[in-house]
Amino acid sequence: MDQNQAKQAAAEAALKYLVPGEVIGVGTGSTVNFFIDALAAHRDDIAGAVSSSNASTERLKKVGIPVVELNDAGELSIYVDGADESDPHLRLIKGGGGALTREKIVAAASRQFICIADESKLVPVLGTFPLPVEVIPMARSYVARELVKLGGQPKLREGFVSDNGGLILDVAGLSITDPRSLETAIGMLAGVISVGLFAHRGADVLLLGGPNGVRELTA
């Protein structure tokens, strides 16, 4: 089984969490693309989807799933999204695709967060994957200096502007032993739109695809 097959297996395993008649949240990335494709066959079972990015919105519409504004949807039953890393407590690094801010909002508005990934994403301690931090453009240098004080090595994601007009600093060199505190500390820096640490609101369920099938971890 290659990495794409593992992602597809995890994505398809998330279908069992669908709540008939409800609006669901849908994340962003290659694993979520497999989920959207699998969801197409179940489009009549759900009331629609709130999307976390323009890319997912387009894909949802293409397969005939109605896209609903979060402001019109109320609380969502489930949110299905991928991750760049998860620790064993289902605290995540996200934002490799640059959609972290909207992902964080949709995750916060959902009762249950189902994370889908191949098993390479499970790590003992977060931080090997550079932590994405989205910033207001004028705050880029200031925030970068503050991230250095926190022990990181920030690098501007060249040529990238988020769906919200933000820039992304990818922060290497962090060994994140206390994800909640770091999420709070970075989130409080002036000019930070959001940090790709999902620790205060991590996943509730992690579906990990691998050669032996799909493993399910719960927080």
**Active-site choice (103, 134, 146, 183):** 103
Q: Please indicate whether residue 146 is annotated as part of the active site.
A: no
Compute, in degrees rounded to 10, the torsion defined by CA atoms 100, 19, 17, 127.
10
In this chain, which of 39, 76, 84, 114 binds ligand 5RP, going by CB under 6 A? Answer: 84
**Range in contact with ligand 5RP (rule: CB under 6 A) among 24-32, 58-66, 67-75, 205-213:** 24-32
Q: Residue 58 and residue 70: Cα distance in Å, rounded?
A: 16
Q: Is 96 in the site for ligand 5RP (CB under 6 A)?
A: yes
Q: Is 99 in the site for ligand 5RP (CB under 6 A)?
A: yes
Q: Smallest Cα–Cα separation from 108: which of 63, 76, 86, 71?
A: 76
Q: Is 82 in the site for ligand 5RP (CB under 6 A)?
A: yes
Nearer to ligand 5RP, 47 or 164 (CB): 164
Q: Smallest Cα–Cα separation from 49: which of 31, 73, 13?
A: 73
Least Å distance, CB 196 to ligand 5RP, is: 7
Site residues (CB under 6 A) for ligand 5RP, limited to 100-129: 100, 103
Q: Is 94 in the site for ligand 5RP (CB under 6 A)?
A: yes
Q: Residue 116 and residue 13: Cα distance in Å, rounded?
A: 9
Q: Residue 47 and residue 206: Cα distance in Å, rounded?
A: 24
Q: Is 31 in the site for ligand 5RP (CB under 6 A)?
A: yes
Size of residue set near ligand 5RP by CB under 6 A: 17
Q: Is 5 in the site for ligand 5RP (CB under 6 A)?
A: no
The two three-digit tokens of residue 178, written as one number:
């206390």
Q: Residue 61 and residue 191: Cα distance in Å, rounded?
A: 33
Q: Residue 95 and residue 104: Cα distance in Å, rounded?
A: 10
By annotation, the residues acting in catalysis are 103
Give me the residues that bind ligand 5RP (CB under 6 A), please: 27-31, 81-84, 94-100, 103
